[in-house]
Amino acid sequence: MSIKGRACIVGAYEHPTRHAPDKSVAQLHAECARGALEDAGLSKDDIDGYFCSGDAPGLGPLSMIDYMDLRVRHVDSTDIGGSSYLALVSHAAQAIALGKCNIALITLAGRPRSSGMATGTAPRAGNPDQPDLEWERPYGPATANLYAMAAKRHMHEFGTTSEQLAWVKVAASHHAQYNPQAMLRDVVTVDQVLESPMVADPLHRLDCCVISDGGGALLVARPEIARELKRPVIQLLGAGEAVKGQMSGDVDLTYTGARWSGAAAFAEAGVTPADIQYASIYDSFTITVLLQLEDLGFCKKGEGGRFVMDGNLISGVGKLPFNTDGGGLCNNHPANRGGITKIIEAVRQLRGEAHPAVQVPGCTLALAQGTGGSIGTRHGSTTLILERV
Amino acid sequence: MSVLNSKGGHKLIATPRQPGSKPFVDAAAQGVFKLPYCRSCDQPHWYPRPVCPRCLSDKVEWETASGQGEIYSFTIMRRAKIPYAIGYVKLDEGPVMMSNLVTEDFEALHIGMRVKVFFEDDGEGNLVPLFEPAN
């Protein structure tokens, strides 16, 4: 049994805020839910499945279902970090295919910017029962330095350069200039990336994503319901998920779980990387994009640096338009978990509703890719392939 | 870290140990670096677990290891009060482990550099394995 063609994304909403000191996390979740319902033309009572992840306050679905007073018959709170929301779309499709629900709501929201969280540069507290904690936390592992180690190793093995990594940010900034809600709208050059302060060698400040408040929501529904609504029908063709860790000590930082989640999604969808017209690629850091592009098969392993150069990721310029909202590098990284924004921009592209300056003409096949946790230690990877019917 | 924890440099983050780590800690107190080996699949692993992550056997025993290895990857964390070097060390016995690389000369650090282990108290009595250039 496959989820291919069994479920559609009928509502998508990105909260416009990037700084919400006067709102609670639960309120942001609810505002995102309202936005997705308005986008779809559905009402709250239509929802019979609810999906959220670790950003939801309290006991996740218990707190949020009560907060929004939903009456659902299916819940899921898979937490694999920023990659969760792509997995939740897949899980919603599975539930819909099995008749467990008809219309699933997925929400994400958070306010790390308002809470002054040093998201990428301070070691996280961790749970005392986390088995790796005593063997890693003493050394000061922070998101930025863990990803930096992956970048350093990629440079060592494949000759990747800081200039090549910078091109990922340059491309994102070209897109962000058209997004009035993006945190960083200025177009930057390779030199500006290289001249920005070093955070953890070889990653500069502009190799890192933004820290923003905000959120997003999606509605996933049966195809029959999607066809009755007035929005373009965006169906799920394939999905894959994977978790990659340190493999008992056989650490290899040169590839990500996208090697596995991507292969599964492409196999289920029955398409190849060459067929993809637009790709949302999780961009916590520039190196994150480069590794995933290789692992998804858009180029060979080790050739990511050359692939992203010279604007190859810029819509209208290069071969693979990516993150046309500006991505996590420029637009938004709500709750430090960018997965849902990756899906939302892919939906905009497939609907033909991206900004005209970055809209891919005739976009009917798109990919969204998420990572969660840290590629430097252990991470989730999820891949979705979406089609406009 | 530019200098040792005990000499006013970057501080280790004190982290309580789990019960299964006692043999490692006891050996460290003697200056001995031990690795967990599984008697069922005959392989070492890292980070240490009483249940072998390769085969889920509970026949894990600690063996004295060389404490030598080479840098697999590393970075200098610049966005810290006192910059420090964090890295992965590939031990001569096989497993790759996270650690700090302790040196006065960050610029000399490179992938493939030979390093050796030593132990440092995290400030709350937990001995932590660190690495320095092997010369």
Q: Using CB atoms, which residue from B14, B47, B111 is nearest to A156?
A: B111
Question: Which chain B residues touch A if contact means CB-CB below 8 Å?
Answer: 10, 12-18, 21, 43-49, 53-54, 72-80, 84, 86-88, 94-100, 111, 122, 126, 128
Q: Tens-digit pLDDT profile for chain A (389 aa)?
A: 899 999 999 999 999 999 999 999 999 999 999 999 999 999 999 999 999 999 999 999 999 999 999 999 999 999 999 999 999 999 999 999 999 999 999 999 999 999 987 777 888 888 889 999 999 999 999 999 999 999 999 999 999 999 999 999 999 999 999 999 999 999 999 999 999 999 999 999 999 999 999 999 999 999 999 999 999 999 999 999 999 999 999 999 999 999 999 999 999 999 999 999 999 999 999 999 999 999 999 999 999 999 999 999 999 999 999 999 999 999 999 999 989 999 999 999 999 999 999 999 999 999 999 999 999 999 999 999 999 99
Query: Is the pLDDT assigned to residue B2 strictly greater than 50?
Result: no
Q: What is the pLDDT of residue A36?
A: 98
What letter would DSSP give residue B6?
Answer: G
Residues paired with A107 in a beta bridge: A217
Three-class HEC string of A112-132: CCCCCCCCCCCCCCCCCCCCC
Residues 6+ apart with CB under 8 A from B62: B23, B24, B27, B34, B35, B36, B37
The CA distance from A85 to A320, in Å, is: 23
Three-class HEC string of A266-292: HHHHCCCHHHCCEEEECCCEHHHHHHH
Query: Is the pLDDT assigned to residue B74 strictly greater than 70?
Result: yes
Q: What is the pLDDT of residue B3?
A: 41
Residues paired with A204 in a beta bridge: A198
Q: Which of A7, A102, A108 is nearest to A49 (CA)?
A: A102
Q: Which of A224, A225, A232, A297 is nearest to A259 (CA)?
A: A297
Q: Using CB atoms, which residue from B17, B87, B111 is nearest to A134?
A: B17
Whether chain B has a CB inside 8 Å of the CB on A136: the answer is yes
Max Cα–Cα distance, chain B, nearest Å: 46
pLDDT tens digits along A218-269: 999 999 999 999 999 999 999 999 999 999 999 999 999 999 999 999 999 9
Average pLDDT score over residue span B2-11: 59
Q: How would residue B8 be classed by pLDDT, with cut points 50, 70 and 90?
A: low
The CA distance from A22 to A74, in Å, is: 32
Average pLDDT score over residue span B23-52: 97
- Calculate the CA A81 to chain-centre distance: 10
pTM of the model: 0.97
Q: What is the pLDDT of residue B5?
A: 54
Query: Is the pLDDT assigned to residue B1 strictly greater than 60?
Result: no
Q: Which of B79, B110, B126 to mutate to test the interface with A (most CBs of A within 10 A)?
A: B79
Residues above pLDDT 90, as percent of chain B? 84
The CA distance from A295 to A290, in Å, is: 9
Q: What angle do CA A180, A290, A370 make, to 5 degrees?
A: 65
pLDDT tens digits along A211-224: 999 999 999 999 99
CA distances from A159 to A104, A257, B123 (A): 45, 22, 40
- Across the interface, do A152 and B44 touch by the CB < 8 Å criterion? no
| Global ipTM | 0.96
Whether chain B has a CB inside 8 Å of the CB on A195: the answer is no
End-to-end CA separation in angstroms for chain A: 21
Instruction: Give the residue carrying structure tokens 């840290």.
Output: A374
Q: What is the pLDDT of residue B4?
A: 55
- Across the interface, do A246 and B96 touch by the CB < 8 Å criterion? yes
* DSSP codes of every residue in A127-152: -TT-TTHHHHGGG---HHHHHHHHHH
